[in-house]
Structure 1
């Protein structure tokens, strides 16, 4: 039985990824900051809930301790939790505290959870990490006129996702026995910026979750240190 932890999984892309992996036979730990909403989502999907705030060292440590104590082990980590911040008029918030919050969640949060999860993952016969990134963090895509990312400006969020790219590469180089990849899930209807998901253009989260689930299910011969999207590898 494969056991998977997904952060930020009570809604949107994380929840839909959890749904697909439960259907695939995984034991899924659904991580979320809010206990009531997280537990409700876990009950709905047939997953297990663990309270987890990726910006809080103590919360992360407690979550991984709870998973270890349960005896399920851990084979797959999906670092899904992420935020964007909007200011007045809906434009990107670029004040210091907002930008620090975005980086703390989107980039530093991945390191917090990964470091806490590594002792359990290294006991697995097929350890896998999937980091949710974005084409907005791809230097190639933001310079390629045919890609939507080249026409959208995202200073803080895009930069935080560029950091995710290097975090992914460096962990893949540091732990060659693990399969560690970044994923561009596509433009997705989401409440990432704090608004109504239906007001954000893009495809349903259930569709975008397919590429995340695919990378979460790779074997020991699968890719590592790559940036993946629906059609294969994406340029860094």
Structure 2
């Protein structure tokens, strides 16, 4: 786990600029529905909110604009934390940013947050069980955990001129080399059932699961010839979104 974290930190510090303001709230991911339609967060006025994998800080900025009371973020990458600090320097909310892997508790308050969320970051964890255990500790009883991540089917299926071909067993789980960047990184692959069962075993009740695709004329140009293509998204979902509650 330590070697993977070091590799991923180095990679993210180098590649962070590529993900500046990439699919932040109100977006949940590439070609995925928006919070404007899903209303998973509800009214965040005066809420204390923590983001796991805060990236460039734009999702937290969105929640500040929605009148959140406190916005906190943790991220493995020094470059991302520095960027988020700049993006959030003029917010009205109380802002706290911590450089830390999600698998470790950097001293965050326990039973404190109304909402913990993660937009396209949870799949980078090197230890899903430890990460969910931490999130449960941070949340108040009855608090909400919302996350989005690439749908478990998406990278297992390749689109070849309109023909879908399974290129990796759905049953295969665990770490693998991320090959999309010039910098080596490790990603994790889990089945949908693994996410659901892990949430349940760590004291969460599933409230909603979303696999819908949002395809509109203004979104399509962002993904032309990209990993998340319009043609592929017409046939399989790009994104998994789950809302759960701490029991």
Q: TM-score range by the shorter chain?
A: 0.3 to 0.5
Q: Which TM-score applies when normalising by structure 1?
A: 0.44
Choose between structure 1 and 2: higher strand proportion.
2
Q: Which TM-score applies when normalising by structure 2?
A: 0.42
* Higher relative contact order, chain-length normalized (CA < 8 Å, sep 6+): 2
Larger Rg: 2
Choose between structure 1 and 2: higher helix proportion.
1
